């Protein structure tokens, strides 16, 4: 049986660890550019159910551009973005 591997450039989400070795998942969601629901990158803690999800707006406000950027970011970039994000209400 062969193991299927996902191309990271086509992934819809990314998993990474923060500086404290806590696992997180980042994904893009949003609506149309230039609306209140424009593209955001969301961060969800995979280890602590009481850790509130976090979010950060993507500068392009485009879901397609944010998804491409998410695939290209390094784990260090994701940790820096997590540090800049704010808790979801």
Boundaries of every domain in the chain: 9-87
Cα distance between residue 3 and residue 82, in whole Å: 31
Q: What is the mean pLDDT of residues 52-77?
A: 90
Question: What is the rounded average pLDDT of the residues 69-83?
Answer: 95
Mean pLDDT over all residues of the chain?
A: 85
Cβ within 8 Å of residue 29, ≥6 positions away = 39, 40, 42, 63
Region for residue 18 given its phi and psi (left: phi exceeds 0; alpha: psi -120 to 50; beta: otherwise)? beta
Q: Which has more confidence, 11 or 23?
A: 23
pLDDT tops 80 at residue 68? yes
What's this model's pTM, rounded to 2 decimal places? 0.81
Whether residue 9 is predicted with pLDDT greater than 80 in this model: the reply is no
């Amino acid at each position: 049986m062969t193991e299927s591997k996902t191309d990271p450039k086509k992934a819809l989400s990314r998993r990474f660890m923060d500086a404290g070795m806590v696992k997180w998942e980042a994904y893009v969601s949003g609506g149309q550019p230039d609306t209140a629901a424009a593209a955001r990158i969301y961060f969800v803690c995979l280890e602590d159910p009481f850790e509130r999800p976090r979010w950060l707006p993507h500068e392009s406000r485009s879901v397609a551009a944010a998804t491409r950027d998410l695939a290209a970011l390094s784990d260090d970039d994701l940790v820096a973005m997590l540090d800049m994000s704010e808790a979801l209400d």
